[in-house]
Amino acid sequence: MLDARRKRLVYRANYRGFKEADLILGGFAKAHIETLSDEEITMFEDLLGAKDHDIYGWISGNLAVPAHYDTSLLTRIRQFDPSS
């Protein structure tokens, strides 16, 4: 069973207001939230604080990723396939 912090993150990841970000971030959260470490949870919370279009640009490779967000978690999200 998910704790409140993880439940909140799944919700935030799924209801961003930008469909493409919802699909990628929400899908990733649903698939991996239970296995993320505390450090990765903190990284994910931080990432969700960024603007949707920036996050999507970083994931798609259309925007340079600021050093603060260039984490192993973002690499995992980039590799995530929401259609699988």
Q: What pLDDT score does 33 carry?
A: 96
* DSSP H helical ranges for 17-64: 19-32, 38-48, 52-60
pTM above 0.85, yes or no: yes
Q: What pLDDT score does 82 carry?
A: 85
- In this prediction, residues 4-32 reach a mean pLDDT of 93
Query: Do the domain assignments include residue 71?
Result: yes
Domain range for 41 is 4-79
Q: What pLDDT score does 1 carry?
A: 60
Number of domains in the chain: 1
Give the domain CATH number at 61: 1.10.150.250
Query: Do the domain assignments include residue 50?
Result: yes
What dihedral do alpha carbons 28, 30, 32, 36 form, nearest 10°?
A: 110
Question: pLDDT tens across 21-66, in order?
Answer: 899 999 999 999 999 999 999 999 999 999 999 999 999 999 999 9
Query: Do the domain assignments include residue 63?
Result: yes
Q: What pLDDT score does 17 carry?
A: 84
Query: Do the domain assignments include residue 29?
Result: yes
Query: Do the domain assignments include residue 84?
Result: no
Using the 8-state DSSP alphabet, how is residue 33 labeled? G
